[in-house]
Amino acid sequence: MTSPDLQSENREAAPAPWTEWRPTALLVLADGTIIEGTGIGAEGTGRGELCFNTAMTGYQEILTDPSYLGQIVTFTFPHIGNVGVNEEDVETVNMARRAATGLVLATDITEPSNYRATRHFDEWLRTRGIVGIAGIDTRALTALIRDHGMPNAIVAHDPEGLFDRAALRAEAKALPAMAGLDLVPHVTGAQRYEWSETSWAWPRGYGTQQAPEFHVVALDYGVKRNILRLLADRGCKVTVLPPDAPAEDVLKLNPDGVFLANGPGDPAATGTYAVPTIRAILDARIPTFGICLGHQMLALALGARTIKMPQGHHGANHPVKEHATGKVEIVSMNHGFAVDAATLPDIAEETHVSLFDGSNCGIRLKDRPAFSVQQHPEASPGPQDSHYLFDRFVAMMRERKRG
């Protein structure tokens, strides 16, 4: 893999004496490339698969999305930090849990200028232990990922600029590939809990669902808060169960519907314990809705396969077409694996497809009330192009109750 013309230790330069500069952060790729920059966020090192995200907003939600566990996020948009951060927009249910392991920026963090901001972005990064690097040619880095795939990498931050480069190179080279990794246990808990918080609205902020019509059991592979809020908005009391909950634990709650959550890692690895439970839920003909990793879990339960993508889909500007209506939705994406549509059985129908690369983005079962999508409809990039999917799930549950 040949790197483009990035700021690296191998790049020839002759700075004038009065411009002497020492890097306080390094981005070390698995092929040995070292890219120098300025450290931001926490001191130390962050390790993982290097991806890029094309979203112009939502950096706090991205970095706290459990699906990003084990990944270093390169933001292609140059102005990161301009709305600050707050404690309300964190997407991890457990506020203490990490998601993304690092970040890469083109420029220094900008000053916050939003009335909801309670902290500076850099301070928030330090508090959460997220290591970052700024001053990088993110266009060249994105082109590298586009052309050669997502490499493993280490981002290191030391204010004194003291790095053992040989050791960092060796460690980056030895990092395990994402394929085969079950990361779900690192972003979920072992206890069940109830969820009733509804979406944010001016001027009250977040609300509470007090008169639920439906009971939904959510299998937590790394669920985002806003998914649970949109279910609560639609009259759902949500009981969240651990990812390895057996089918009997789900069925004894007598749910009106089951939700299969998003999450990180290789779906085939998670499927070893999740698929049997999902198959039992489908056999019970309980309305089922999956998002992201949940979509992949549903496909695996049907006997289909998932494949590793070279660059993955990460951003808030992805066009996805629904076959039935011809409607094109602008959606948020975050996945490095995809369902291989060619392996879907006859009982499953492809419902959505990416207009970027033709990859599968949705399925539904022809003989049972179950469907799923690869995109994140709760992330509201369109801003609400895909919220109808939650309404579709509610309609399935209402039909079952009436029946």
168-204 pLDDT per residue, tens: 999 999 999 999 999 999 999 889 999 999 999 888 8
* Residue 294 scores a pLDDT above 90: yes
Are 253 and 259 in contact by the 8 Å Cβ rule? The answer is no
* Residue 9 scores a pLDDT above 60: no
**Per annotation, catalytic residue among 61, 91, 329, 378:** 378
Is 387 one of the annotated active-site residues of the chain?
no
Q: What is the pLDDT of residue 17?
A: 52
Q: What is the pLDDT of residue 382?
A: 73
Confidence of residue 209 (pLDDT cuts 50, 70, 90): very high
Q: What is the pLDDT of residue 183?
A: 97
Are 231 and 238 in contact by the 8 Å Cβ rule? The answer is yes
CATH of 184-402, one of 3.90.1150.10, 3.30.980.10, 3.40.1440.10, 3.40.50.880: 3.40.50.880
Task: Give the integer Cα–Cα distance in Å for 97 and 84.
Answer: 20
* Residue 95 scores a pLDDT above 50: yes
Q: What is the pLDDT of residue 273?
A: 98
Instruction: Point out the least confidently predicted range of 188-192, 344-348, 358-362.
Output: 188-192
For the chain, the structural domain boundaries read 17-174, 184-402
List of residues 6+ apart from 69 with CB closer than 8 A: 98, 99, 100, 101, 183, 186, 187, 222, 264, 265
Q: What is the pLDDT of residue 34?
A: 98
Q: What is the pLDDT of residue 21?
A: 83
CATH of 17-174, one of 3.40.920.10, 3.50.30.20, 3.30.710.10, 3.60.40.10: 3.50.30.20
Supply the pTM of this predicted model.
0.94
Inter-CA distances, 64 with 31, 88, 191, 280, Å:
28, 12, 20, 31
Inter-CA distances, 338 with 63, 100, 157, 334, Å:
21, 20, 33, 11
Measured in degrees and rounded to the nearest 5, phi and psi for residue 150 equal -85, 110
Of 44, 35, 39, the closest CA to residue 4 belongs to 35
For 308-346, b/e burial (b = at least 16 CB within 10 A) is beebbbbbbebebbbeeeeeebebbbbbbbbbebebbee
* Top-confidence residue, 1 or 131: 131
**Per annotation, catalytic residue among 236, 292, 335, 352:** 292
Confidence of residue 12 (pLDDT cuts 50, 70, 90): very low
Confidence of residue 66 (pLDDT cuts 50, 70, 90): very high
Is 160 one of the annotated active-site residues of the chain?
no
Locate 48 and state its tokens: 């993982």
Are 39 and 132 in contact by the 8 Å Cβ rule? The answer is yes
Counted residue by residue, the chain has a size of 403
Is 376 one of the annotated active-site residues of the chain?
yes
Confidence of residue 6 (pLDDT cuts 50, 70, 90): low
Look at phi and psi of residue 352 and say left if phi exceeds 0, alpha if psi is from -120 to 50, else beta: beta
